[in-house]
Structure 1
Amino acid sequence: MAHSDAFRQKMADAGLHDLFTDGWIGLYEKFCAGDKGFIAESAIEPVTELPELDSLPEGDEALLGKTVVLKLNGGLGTGMGLDKAKSLLEVKNGDTFLDLIAKQIRKLREKHPVRFMLMNSFSTEADTKEFFSKYPEIQEVWDQEVSFMQNMSPKVDAASKEPVDWPSKPGCEWCPPGHGDIYAAMLCSGKLDMLLAEGYEYAFVSNSDNLGATLDLRLLGYLAESGAPMLMEVCVRGEDDKKGGHLARQRGSGILTLRESAQCPKEDEKDFQDITKHKFFNTNNLWFNLRRLREVMADGVLPLPIIVNEKKVDPASKENPGPKVFQLETAMGAAISSLPDSQAICVPFERFAPVKTCNQLFALRSDAYVINEEFKPVLAPGALKPVVEFDDHYKMVPDMEAAIPHGVPSLKLCKKLTVKGKVVFAPNVAIHGEVQILNGSKTGPAPTVTGTIRGSADKLRILRDADDAQPHTAISGAALSATSRAFTMPRTAGSTQGLPVIRQAIP
């Protein structure tokens, strides 16, 4: 049974715009009618070919004066143990995401007066505005030009489908509506009409944690020349991307559509994860023709498919997370099927460099990456592209940083680093090739990793444990090659369980 009136009253009391409320109530009523937003495999067809960025000509620089660079900045990064805007996290050499974004904008403005905007949330607005005091040219026009607020959605009590009530922590009764809210937020705030009135025609939108998403004149030129309302940047899926959303075409119409993992029925998961069948994923780097976008929203907010996420009302609380709730969300990229004639372009991976996990942050902070003259992270000359895999001991940023009190090891010549169990890296550690560091002990101080650890450049083979070694030192192992190193803690007599050991490949 739907409780639309109760939700509508709650949203009105919170001061939410009627247009947003109408759109959200529409999603809620679909949900109550049994619509879980699933997109069945039988309803779609794979996308087999797309134009590639390298084939596009350079666009006219004059287009920059009509363009907005808009960053989505509503996330707190709670999944990485953060309690403020994720974009305030230090990325490299003392610079945060927002530092590098601000420097990218300054670089662009050396040639053209590119407009810069942020979509913040009720959780990130204050911290972000305070941060930009170091960039006064941005903070001085904060309310007039830069910031607009993402809406907030009421959580749905899973048992009753009523608005959840959590008086001990009322903020937990609300959640972000997903980045698909950008369309309603721009419309309801008046920012979209303001931009059009000031002569802006195009917008480049991306996540604030994707520093690879810089303004590219080839894509801007293609958007302007094609007249498409929306252009989506996609990359070719790899093994690491098979659980993420993919691009497809609606069966019959051929219209491009986006299917997220939460929209895949369980029986279709094998097809969903088949990267040879569904080849492309959405980078969430999107380009818009603002005039065409406004035309589609002449009668209200852009209709988007529902995404249903199941959570606890207060997931951050270990003592009392509360009852199960549903969060009804939408995805920004899903607009590709709501905006007729939208297109997609295949771009290289360098344009998709998000930091969603400590694995990615660890690699980015290492010497394998440098910041180029456009303030964009790129692989250092001669560096491999390291893959870092941590276990749950390093899921949160404070735990990761506790392991690197002297800084991130050198990963310039690392192909893959796997760490399981707690360890501490000493100063001047270097990882070469493919290496596993395994500590099975759950008690005592974390062992220290020292020196240069060399592994295989191609295939990882795990050696037997070294039998005798002093703790907290890197040693030569008699069974290893001359360039190999192993680290171990003393064994407990008659047992190998709980043995902390660096294991690595023969080069």
Structure 2
Amino acid sequence: MNSQSLQDFKGVMDKSAAETVHDKLRAINDAVDNDFERMRDSEVNGFVELYSRYLKSRSKKQEIQWDLIQQPGENMLSRYDTLAEPPEHEVTGLLSKLAVLKLNGGLGTSMGCKGPKSVIEVRDDTTFLDLIVQQIENLNKTYPGADVPLLLMNSFNTDTETAKIIQKYQDTNVTITTFQQSRYPRIIKESLEPMPATHEGYAHSDWYPPGHGDFFQSIYASGLVDTLLAQGKEYIFVSNVDNLGATVDLNILKDVVTRKVEYCMELTDKTRADIKGGTIISYDGKVSLLEVAQVPSKYIEEFKSVSKFKVFNTNNIWVSLRAIKRIMQADEMKLDIIVNNKEVAGQKVIQLETAIGAGIGYFENAGGVNVPRSRFLPVKSTSDLLLIQSNMYTLKSGSLVKNPSRQFATTPVIKLGNEFKKVAQYLERFGSIPDVLELDHLTVSGDVSFGANTTLKGTVIIVANPGNKIMIPGGSVIENKVVVGSLHVIPH
């Protein structure tokens, strides 16, 4: 693209911009000779639609009208404790209508691991994926005839590796199907031109997966919606692969089937650690999801308040397959665009993404259910991993069960410093996972190590000053203490 055409490119909008980008992507597709570098038709069309909407939004920003926001009524947000448990004789029939999908696009790089995040060992030498397969296999064995299938939506980063990994589940009573979500080209921030900058073909770093909102388009384009409907499936339960609390819940399943709910979002009570989480609202009389990025700056503190906006989205979503087909066939879904600024190989780029939660407004009879915190157990860091691996939980058929010996309803707040960020570093710094049954809060910063069989109670803060080291000897019991400096803590 010469300088004049680039200037023309930067100035075009709407249809002309879409045509320009479409032609460029088609030209690159024609020039490359392997499938990895060639975009599927659904990817080209999906990106062009998202890109043209982004350009339009830059010239005409729409701000949410704060006075139209109201708290959701009981018809929009149910309480979990009001849901009826299905009688035993109904369970197989309910489960026969269900498929389970895990969003499996993420890598474990943020925790220092290679490959898909779903293969990180999280408990008793088992991975996220191992536990998920165990959960579904237990359902299928407990209720013969249910035959709940597992679907994995992979990204181009995880697809090949996942295909190899799932071979080990061939002898389980679980049918596993994978499909790949869209790959979109990153956008050069300065010129607003999609990668690559030349017509020489794509490099791996030119691509990105466009968020979990792409679920709707990708599962529809894959043909799996029709396949599942032909198998008698009516609903699909979608959740993040790293949320160990996102198990199949029969009470919620019965409720969505009985009331013919097309879209049900699970939300849980907000704490001060969750102040940025999206929340369900009534907007101009219609159910909607409000994300922090949509909130005008003068209302940010009000949004963060746990008194006004009391729940947040867990990203556990129950959706009608028939409704997905109807909406996608009509090309009605235009999800809010999330602009993700990144820097790749020194180049400032933009990624246009969407979120599955934003889809709630496109479905009929849609709403949410306020679920217990136990259904939201994500593992985003080694701080989360410590809690999951501790005696706070036990494993039962692949599901985490809170230890009944814990006297408090809440779980401990754990904050581990940068020295614990990678899984390998984290494992080196613990002789064994501490007893945390009576722990309220743990903060660890600096060069700190724990011996085996330590016990932490109450509020414990351990800070090693720069250049210093703190060793917690094996067998130590630390209760309501602040430890700072460089020393050994003597057990008692």
Q: Quickly name the TM-score band, shorter chain normalised.
A: 0.7 to 0.9
Q: What is the aligned partner in structure 2 of residue 116 from structure 1? A: 150
Contact persistence 1:76–1:84 (CA under 8 A): yes
1:25-174 to structure 2, matched below 5 A, reads: 25-33=48-56, 34=58, 39=64, 41-47=66-72, 49=74, 50-59=77-86, 60-61=90-91, 62-110=93-141, 111=143, 112-137=146-171, 146-165=177-196, 170-174=203-207
CA distance in 2, matches of 1:202, 1:433: 43
Aligned with 1:344 (options 363, 368, 373): 368
Q: What is the aligned partner in structure 1 of residue 422 from structure 2? A: 396
Q: What is the aligned partner in structure 2 of residue 184 from structure 1? A: 217
Tell me: CA distance 1:310–1:56, structure 2 relative to 1, closer, same or farther (3 Å): same
Q: Which amino acid aligns with 1:412?
A: L
Tell me: CA distance 1:301–1:101, structure 2 relative to 1, closer, same or farther (3 Å): farther
| 1:19-77 deviation per Cα after TM superposition (whole angstroms, max 9, x unaligned) | 44333322212221216786453453333653212211123311211210111111113
Q: Which amino acid aligns with 2:158?
A: T
Return the TM-score normalized by structure 2. Answer: 0.85
1:352 deviates by 0.9
Contact persistence 1:100–1:375 (CA under 8 A): yes
Q: Unpaired segments of 5 or more residues in structure 1?
A: 315-320, 477-482, 484-507
Q: Unpaired segments of 5 or more residues in structure 2?
A: 1-10, 30-36
Aligned with 1:289 (options 288, 303, 320): 320
Q: Which amino acid aligns with 2:267?
A: V
| 1:395-432 deviation per Cα after TM superposition (whole angstroms, max 9, x unaligned) | 3323322322x232222222211101121111222212
Secondary structure at 2:318's aligned position in 1? strand
1:272-287 to structure 2, matched below 5 A, reads: 272-287=303-318
Contact persistence 1:180–1:334 (CA under 8 A): yes
Secondary structure at 2:329's aligned position in 1? coil
Contact persistence 2:415–2:442 (CA under 8 A): yes
Contact persistence 1:76–1:124 (CA under 8 A): yes
1:103 deviates by 0.5
Contact persistence 1:184–1:301 (CA under 8 A): no
Count of matched residue positions in the alignment of Structure 1 and Structure 2: 452
CA distance in 2, matches of 1:327, 1:297: 23
Q: What is the aligned partner in structure 2 of residue 500 from structure 1? A: none
Percent of pairs identical after alignment? 35
Aligned with 1:407 (options 432, 447, 468): 432
| 1:225-278 deviation per Cα after TM superposition (whole angstroms, max 9, x unaligned) | 11121111111111111022222221x2x2111122333343332122112111
1:169 deviates by 8.5
The answer to whether residue 42 in structure 2 is matched with residue 8 in structure 1 is: no
Secondary structure at 1:113's aligned position in 2? coil
Tell me: CA distance 1:139–1:121, structure 2 relative to 1, closer, same or farther (3 Å): farther
Secondary structure at 1:210's aligned position in 2? coil
CA distance in 2, matches of 1:87, 1:202: 23
| 1:298-337 deviation per Cα after TM superposition (whole angstroms, max 9, x unaligned) | 233732111111111x2xxxxxx31211111110011101
Aligned with 2:333 (options 277, 299, 302): 302
1:360-439 to structure 2, matched below 5 A, reads: 360-372=384-396, 374-383=397-406, 385-404=411-430, 406-439=431-464
CA distance in 1, matches of 2:133, 2:95: 17
1:140 deviates by 9.8
Tell me: CA distance 1:175–1:262, structure 2 relative to 1, closer, same or farther (3 Å): farther
The answer to whether residue 463 in structure 2 is matched with residue 449 in structure 1 is: no
1:212 deviates by 0.9
Tell me: CA distance 1:148–1:274, structure 2 relative to 1, closer, same or farther (3 Å): same
CA distance in 2, matches of 1:266, 1:152: 32
Contact persistence 2:245–2:378 (CA under 8 A): yes
**Range with bigger deviation, 24-33 or 346-355:** 24-33
Supply the RMSD in Å over aligned alpha carbons. Answer: 2.5
1:119 deviates by 0.7
**Range with bigger deviation, 237-246 or 125-134:** 125-134
CA distance in 1, matches of 2:64, 2:386: 35
1:138 deviates by 6.2
CA distance in 2, matches of 1:132, 1:10: 37
The answer to whether residue 337 in structure 2 is matched with residue 322 in structure 1 is: no
Q: Which amino acid aligns with 1:106?
A: E
Tell me: CA distance 1:348–1:151, structure 2 relative to 1, closer, same or farther (3 Å): same
Contact persistence 2:149–2:174 (CA under 8 A): no
Q: What is the aligned partner in structure 1 of residue 7 from structure 2? A: none
The answer to whether residue 238 in structure 2 is matched with residue 205 in structure 1 is: yes
Return the TM-score normalized by structure 1. Answer: 0.83
Secondary structure at 1:133's aligned position in 2? helix
CA distance in 2, matches of 1:154, 1:123: 14
Q: Which has the higher helix share?
A: 2
1:220-235 to structure 2, matched below 5 A, reads: 220-235=253-268
1:178 deviates by 0.3
Contact persistence 1:56–1:219 (CA under 8 A): yes
Tell me: CA distance 1:291–1:273, structure 2 relative to 1, closer, same or farther (3 Å): same
1:394 deviates by 2.5
| 1:128-151 deviation per Cα after TM superposition (whole angstroms, max 9, x unaligned) | 222222211469965xxx111111
Secondary structure at 2:78's aligned position in 1? coil
Q: Which amino acid aligns with 1:226?
A: R
Q: Which amino acid aligns with 1:411?
A: V
Contact persistence 1:304–1:338 (CA under 8 A): no
Tell me: CA distance 1:11–1:140, structure 2 relative to 1, closer, same or farther (3 Å): farther
CA distance in 1, matches of 2:472, 2:61: 48
1:351 deviates by 0.9
1:205 deviates by 1.0
Q: Which amino acid aligns with 1:275?
A: V
Aligned with 1:248 (options 271, 276, 281): 281
